[in-house]
Amino acid sequence: MAHLTRTKAASAVVVCALVGAGAGIAGSAAAPAKHHKTNSTRQAGRAPGGRPPFGMHGPPVHADVVELNQAGNAFITATEDNGVVQSVSGDQLTITEGTPTVTYKTVTLTIPSGAKVYRNFAAASLSDIKANDHVHVSQSSDGTVVFANDGTARPPHGDGRHGPGPDGPGGPGGPPPPGF
């Protein structure tokens, strides 16, 4: 009987040790790296190795995503469009989605009057947006947010890699501008 109790106790010790080791490995893998490397040859808007950010092919030009609403009590569908402004006329924003060498499509979006609009990281109106600005438009039942940048502006906070503050220019829940 004592042998059986010792065997159970030894088994429990081994199991606890394995679980503890596994948790330690998982914790160290999830912990942020403590070293920082800089690459002086890294290009702006590019991931290490000269690749585009956001995976293998760069950021999306159009997406329909399911996300939690601002109230935090239901899921909604949001449409994201990224591209270069072709024209602005009244509440109509025409953008070309794609890359500098490949066009996905040209779309005309109707921007509602209550939309939050930002140009060069400052509050703006739709009429302030100019042709050739890079633009990100997010539309959902929570509202519409338009971010535009002419390529010369830098975020008002941080060093350009962390965006315009912890809550983005749209405030809490607002999407960050795409790799300007």
Q: 61-180: CATH homologous superfamily?
A: Nucleic acid-binding proteins (2.40.50.140)
Mean pLDDT of 58-86: 94
148 contacts: CB under 8 Å, gap ≥ 6: 85, 117, 118, 119, 120, 124, 128, 129, 130, 133, 134, 135, 136
What pLDDT sits at residue 4? 43
Q: Is the pLDDT of residue 85 over 50?
A: yes
Of the candidate ranges 27-36, 83-92, 116-125, 160-169, the one whose mean pLDDT is the lowest? 27-36
Q: Can you give the pLDDT at residue 154? A: 86
Comparing 12 with 143, the larger pLDDT belongs to 143
For residues 53-74, give the mean pLDDT: 85
Model's pTM, two decimal places? Answer: 0.58
